[in-house]
Amino acid sequence: MPQVGKHRPFNTKEIKMALLLRELFIVAAATAALAASLVGPALAQTTAHSHDAAAPNKLTLNQGRKWATDEPLRAGMGRIRGLVEPQLGAAHAGKLTPVQYRELAAQVETEVGGIVANCKLEPQADAMLHLVIADIGAGIDAMAGKDAKLRPALGLVKVAQAVNQYGSHFDHPGFKPIRNAH
């Protein structure tokens, strides 16, 4: 029986599935809204017209401004930043053990799971956040030893860089970039 106040860590597959389901829901809702708006002459249109609902593949600003956030997102990203930044020096010096990387990966993964479960953003902001979460997930996999092509230290750097990308693209008052995230 789970203990009250304890959170079980999410695994990467659960996070990816939650993101996929959330994205499918957003696409379905957008498609339904689009279909509902197509009445009268628009239905008679015969020229080929594509509404490609593909997710964006590049992190961008919202017409030159940072994307809106909510408290669960800001809190979760703040905690991820707090987990990652103090470990970068040791990682750069080669002093973190595989066990320490796996523990850190599990902690970051738990925070990502909380963000995914509780964050409620507008669809476009959510799509941008998925790009940040995907980079964090790739870093988690490397830290956990699940990506043989990427050393755990580089996974930690990938998470730090994703956190900094979040800070430069999302409105998070008081956010400070992680130094030495290279």
55 Cβ neighbours under 8 A, 6+ residues apart: 23, 127, 130
pLDDT tens figures, 16-49? 555 554 554 444 444 433 333 333 333 333 333 2
- Cα-to-chain-centroid distance, residue 161: 12
SS3 of 94-146: the string is CCCCHHHHHHHHHHHHHHHHHHHHHCCCCHHHHHHHHHHHHHHHHHHHHHCCC
Threshold 0.75, pTM exceeds:
no
Domains of the chain: 68-171 (1.20.120)
Query: Please, are residues 81 and 163 in contact by the beta-carbon 8 Å criterion?
Result: yes
